[in-house]
Structure 1
Amino acid sequence: MTTGRRIAMFDLFGVIARHQRPGALVDMAAECHAPLDAFTEAYWALRPPYDAGRQSAARYWGAVLRRLSRPVGPGTTERLRLADIDSWSRVDDRMVGYVRSLRGRAEVALLSNIPADHADVFGAVQPWLRDLDYVALSGKIKVAKPDPAAFRHCVTAMRAAPADFLFVDDREENVRSARAVGMTGHVFAGLDELETAVDAWLATGTASPEPGS
């Protein structure tokens, strides 16, 4: 059941912000003198607790280095932390403009997986985040997508109903989780398609069909 509100809620990376900078993992692997394949596996396999705010940056990077059998030292972990933050720092200016423009027609929220220390830096250099009605960052709310609790957190925090939301993400598993808690979901594939889906949702409460559905 809806309360009659319209809340467009967006993922960050892969939607409004760019994916990780090309070559970043190569540079970080070289920093700790590790093979790229082994570094990449450790980087992603150990990431969930860090994203969800259950682990500090120092503990995360220490775990990565130990998995790679590399020395753990504060200088190395800090260089890796800063390189990692920089690698996720780019935004799509067209998407930022579009999201801000929606506030004349709907409430606008953000739900993103991002470690707490990344979130502090990103928020400081992206003032447009302060224009949004609600921002939920996994490292701060202590739960990450696709855990349904991340979506329920936003519903509760905004004092809304799940059916009030259109959630936009580039990852199908996150959209499925949003739909499972009662939100409308849209898999992001580009701005033109998104505009059509949002217009349909604002008019009818249902996003336009996904490609191939």
Structure 2
Amino acid sequence: MTAKKWILFDIGGVLEVVDDDAWQEQWWQRWCTHTGLERPDFDARVEGAELPEIDVKAGLEAEFWQRLGTALALDADDRDAMRADFWDAYCGTANTELIEFARSLRGRAGLAILSNSADGAREEEERRYGFSEIFDPICYSHEQGVNKPDPQAYLLALQKLDADAADVLFIDDRQHSIDGAAAVGIRGVLQRDNALTIAAIEAFLAD
């Protein structure tokens, strides 16, 4: 019997259209301007807030925003607006072509997600894009406790897939994440163009 094949997707820069190299700095700068603080003072306040590591720990989102809001002297409305602006920037827009292609693969391959994340991402991305209708499991770094490209991130995902590395194709927009997958035997595709990624997935499934 042929082993089940899996397509494992990253989210930001793959299933979501977002510039991971720019959005965080742009978001910080918007809120620096909003507070009226000079950037060195703004950065010092953020540093002094000792924000929890919401990229590798779950259940800390409320504490994160409370600490950040207090450090920047934001009232509740501004804090909520900052949080909403963060998630809008974080989630970008749907890469509809790739999402719908993934949906079309149901029955031909297992479909899963492995993504570096922030606490709250599961709820925010589900509300916007309904990923759980297509992908299972969805492996987030804040729930697994480790970020890509640490090998443990991929090994934990393989456990959840109950799959061998050779039966998984990983799609990511970061070369270091592709390299991390390769280190544990998972083949990877660097997302640059939907047509090329789709062709690579079809070739993997036909192999």
TM over 0.5: yes
Please say if 1:80 is aligned against 2:82.
yes
Partner Cα separation in structure 2 for residue 48 and residue 143 of structure 1: 15
Partner residue, 2:18: 19
Q: Secondary structure at the match of 2:16?
A: coil
Aligned length: 198
Change (3 A) 1:150 1:27: same
Pick closer, same or farther for the CA change 1:93–1:15 going to 2, 3 Å.
same
Query: Matched residues, percent identical?
Result: 24
Over aligned residues, Cα RMSD in angstroms? 3.2
Q: In the alignment, what sits opposite 2:61?
A: 57
Deviation, 1:139, is: 2.0
In 2, Cα distance between equivalents of 1:40 and 1:167: 36
| Offset at residue 13 of structure 1 (A) | 0.7
Do 1:53 and 1:140's aligned partners in 2 also have CA atoms closer than 8 Å? Answer: yes
Which of the numbers 117, 141, 144 marks the counterpart of 2:144? 141
Corresponding position of 1:92: 95
CA apart distance, 1:35:
5.0
1:198 match: 201
- Structure 2 counterpart SS, 1:155: helix
Q: What per-residue deviation string (whole Å, max 9, x for no partner) do you get for residues 24-56 of structure 1?
A: 44423323334569869979xx99922122672
Task: Provide Cα deviations, 1:90-126, integer angstroms capped at 9, x if missing partner.
Answer: 2111111111112242111111122121321221332
Query: Structure 1 13/47 Cα, relative in aligned 2: closer, same or farther at 3 Å?
Result: farther
Aligned residue identity for 2:120:
D
Residues 38 and 146 of structure 1, relative CA distance in 2, 3 Å threshold:
farther
The runs of 5 or more residues in structure 1 that have no matched partner are 205-213
In structure 1, the partner of 2:159 is 156
Partners of 2:29 and 2:62 in 1: CA distance: 20
TM-score by length of 1: 0.77
In structure 1, the residue corresponding to 2:11 is in which secondary structure? coil
8 Å CA contact 2:31–2:82 kept in 1: the answer is yes
Distance 1:118 1:104, change over 3 A: same
1:111-154 Cα shifts (integer Å, max 9, x gaps): 11221213212213322432223211222222221222111111
- Cα 1:140–1:54, aligned 2, differ >3 Å: closer, same or farther? closer
Q: Which moved more, 1:52-61 or 1:170-179?
A: 52-61
The residue number in structure 1 matching 2:7 is 8
Measure the CA separation in 2 of the matches of 1:31 and 1:180.
Answer: 44
The answer as to whether partners of 1:28 and 1:83 remain within 8 angstroms in 2 is no
Give the 5 Å matches for 1:124-135: 124-135=127-138
Give me the whole-angstrom Cα distance separating, in 2, the residues matched to 1:57 and 1:34: 24
Cα distance change of structure 1 residues 193 and 159 upon mapping to structure 2, 3 Å threshold: same
